[in-house]
Amino acid sequence: MPSEAHTVAAPSLLLLLLHLSSVVPATADNGEGVPVVSTAGGKVRGTVQYTNDLPNKPVYTFKGIPYAAPPVGDLRFRAPQPAAPWEGVRDASAVGPHCPQDPGFFAFWPTKLPHNDTDEDCLTLSVETPRLEKDAKLPVLLWIHGGGLSVGVGYFVPFTSLSAHQDVVVVTFNYRIGALGFFSTGDENAPGNFGFLDQVRDSGNGLGPGEQMIRNFGGDPDLVTIFGESAGGSSVCYQVASPLSKGLFQRAISQSGGCQSIDVNPKPLERAVTLAEDLGCDVKDTAAMVDCLRKKPADDFAPAVQRMIMTLAAQGHMFAFPPVVDGAFLPAHPHELFDANQANPVDYLLGANNHEYGYIFTSYMVPGYEQGMTEDTFVMMLRMLVGRLYPGGNQDSMVAALRQVYRDDENPDDPMAILKQFTFAYGDQWYMAPTVLVANKLAGVGQRVYLYENQYGPSHLTANRPDWVGCDHADDVYIVPGMAFIDVFFRDGGLIPFSTDDKKVTLDMMAFWGNFARTG
Ligand SMILES: *[C@@H]1O[C@H](CO)[C@@H](O)[C@H](O)[C@H]1NC(C)=O
């Protein structure tokens, strides 16, 4: 600290420090604990964070850095464009707005978020790194958030623990979701997959032209692992399949999401027409339709998608705007690309939790969860599953075959036993089976694939659900970022408690992920 600073009062000292850092040229850490780094877009000033268990290990944190031009106006429904550079030093101490989405997400997401603000101008990223020297060459982990490609936020908690404990650079970011991210007319007027293009391809979110950016934050652009959970895991699967993403990352981790967990929609135009009609746009030709939709307020899309979901859910569909075969990002269904050995040659770690439908989804979907499920309801749910996956097949025989597999022979008619079988059937169809399928396909063509099953749920969650529930969907989201070693609050206050076991498993999981990023 400069000696003259001792003579000024605290608030002005802060101002002075800020002023000093803004005139310091792009250096790593100017000695005031206020790091300034150069990026392709300009300089950014971050903050320094610490985990609770490593008080001497700074993690330099930069939030809300634009990585693409705001995807608004004429840029809506188009591939991301480069961000405009800025003058001077940009404040990177706060997370940018989330992408527009159903506000229900903010009432549902269990941990306290930095804020609840959304804006279509949402393509920003955050970086956490323990080193700032250009030659540090640390492994880089790029987190792709979940939320069905329709809700969710990039920076939902700091990844400070993973960064500090594993000496890795962690990048989190928002990508376009819902109709704004995946609307498709099935032709060149709105090819779709815009959210996937945001994730790794273009404009410097750590990859591609962002190579320079990774280097300036201590990362090695040739040692990038993309990782994500749920729809983030599915996104990773699609990125592994896409020829446009070739060479942009070396390793990949899918936590609870194969490609088929959010399968491609073979008929995007039908959904496009439904949305356009709902929003009062003419649907006779797709160019005019897209033109009209570009003029609608961004906040009109999520409610319209919600209205579509009401109808789609009755047919077993969970997603209104899933990925599409657009001929560029995705030249064919990802499974065809895998079978033809056209996947990107990366090390791939993928897996799922052992009870993906154990609690969160099922207790929400099934009224009277505590009392179990009737045979009729189970058969109806199996019928929906089969109808969605095999619309042309012999549904009666498939349902009967499934009921044979998903049966508790000792208590075939017990409602609790039936409910349990439902949780296994649905967990398998949405998460485990798509994951195993991808692993088998890639192993079959000689790719380096590692498959895991996660059995550990954090104690504050397992304490509040029945004993028969195993590791539920998203349990790993508390563990992998290392929440046990930072202060994370419940949505409406109260510190989330973590047990000794939670901490031990967290250290192990972070080491597994860190080692994979380092060595494959
Ligand atoms: C976000 O919204 C939810 C739901 O209304 C609320 O419970 C939560 O406190 C809000 N969080 C913040 C940071 O404002």
Is the model's pLDDT at 241 over the cut of 80?
yes
Mean pLDDT of the chain: 91
Tokens of residue 189, six digits = 């007027």
Residue 131 has pLDDT above 70, yes or no: yes
- Between 113 and 209, where is the model more confident? 113
Distance from the CA of 107 to the center of ligand 1, in angstroms?
A: 6
CB count within 10 Å of CB 476 equals 24
Give percent of the chain with pLDDT exceeding 90.
84
The model's pLDDT over 39-59, given as tens digits with 9 standing for 90+, comes to 878 899 999 999 999 999 999
Cα–Cα distances (Å) from 330 to 37, 246, 483, in that order, read 35, 12, 35
Angle made by CA atoms 255, 60, 216, in degrees to the nearest 5:
90
CA of 178 relative to ligand 1 center, distance in Å: 21
Looking at residue 201, its pLDDT comes to 60
**How far apart are alpha carbons 102 and 123 in whole angstroms?**
18
Q: Find how far residue 244's CA is from the centre of its chain.
A: 19
Q: How far does the centroid of ligand 1 lie from the alpha carbon of residue 322, in Å?
A: 27
Residues 6+ apart with CB under 8 A from 91: 44, 45
- Please give the pLDDT value at position 211: 65
The region of weakest confidence among 24-33, 137-146, 409-418 is 24-33
Quick check: 468 pLDDT over 90?
yes
pLDDT at position 314: 83
H helices, E strands: number in the chain: 19, 12
Candidate from 116, 151, 488, 492 with most ligand 1 atoms within 8 A of CB, to mutate: 116
pLDDT of residue 62: 95
Which secondary structure element, helix H or strand E, spans residue 228, and what is its range? strand 219-229
pLDDT of residue 295: 98
pTM as predicted: 0.93
Token pair of 64, please? 């809300």
Contacts of 512 (CB under 8 A, 6+ apart): none
- Other residues' Cβ atoms within 10 Å of the Cβ of residue 127: 30
In the chain, the amino acid numbered 175 is Y
Q: Give, rounded to a whole angstrom, the gap between the first and last alpha carbons of the chain.
A: 42
Q: Which atom of ligand 1 is nearest to the CA of 109?
A: 3
Residues present in the chain in total: 520
Q: Does residue 14 carry a pLDDT above 90?
A: no
* Residue located nearest, by CA, to atom 10 of ligand 1: 116
pLDDT in tens, 405-463: 999 999 999 999 999 999 999 999 999 999 999 999 999 999 999 999 999 999 999 99
Give the pLDDT score at 212: 66
CA of 127 to the centre of ligand 1 (A): 24
- Identify the pLDDT of residue 384: 92
Structure confidence at residue 462 (pLDDT): 98
Helices 433-444 and 231-241: crossing angle, nearest 10°? 20
Residue with tokens 């797709």: 286
The tens digit of pLDDT for each residue in 89-130 reads: 999 999 999 999 999 999 999 999 999 999 999 999 999 999
Ligand 1 mean position, distance from CA 21 (Å): 33
List Cα–Cα distances, 230 to 72, 473, 483, in angstroms: 27, 8, 18
Enumerate residues lining ligand 1, CB below 6 A: 106-107, 112-113, 115-116, 491-492
Predicted pLDDT of residue 31: 47
Nearest to 107 by CA among 497, 476, 495, 492: 492
**Cα–Cα distance between 196 and 228 in angstroms, integer?**
13
What is the spatial order of strands in the sheet that 449-454 belongs to? 47-49, 59-66, 124-129, 169-173, 138-144, 219-229, 251-255, 347-353, 449-454
Candidate from 101, 105, 106, 157 with most ligand 1 atoms within 8 A of CB, to mutate: 106
Helices (H), 199-345: 211-216, 231-241, 268-278, 286-294, 301-313, 334-339
- Res 20 pLDDT > 80: no
Q: Report the nearest-CA residue for atom 4 of ligand 1.
A: 107
Q: What is the pLDDT of residue 12?
A: 32
Q: In what order do the strands lie in the sheet with 36-38?
A: 36-38, 43-45, 89-91
Whose alpha carbon is nearest atom 12 of ligand 1? 115
Q: pLDDT confidence of 17, banded at 50, 70, 90?
A: very low
Q: How far apart are CA 466 and CA 232, in angstroms?
A: 28
**pLDDT given at position 33:** 65
* Active site residue ranges: 230, 356, 473
Of the candidates 101, 200, 198, the one whose C-alpha atom is nearest the C-alpha of residue 153 is: 101
Residues 219-223 have a mean pLDDT of 91
The whole-number pLDDT of residue 82 equals 86
The residue that leads in pLDDT, 152 or 214, is 152
Virtual CA dihedral for 83, 85, 91, 92, nearest 10 degrees?
40
> Considering the chain, what percentage of its residues have pLDDT values greater than 70?
91
Domains and CATH numbers, the chain: 133-520 (3.40.50.1820)
95: number of CA atoms within 13 Å, CB side?
20
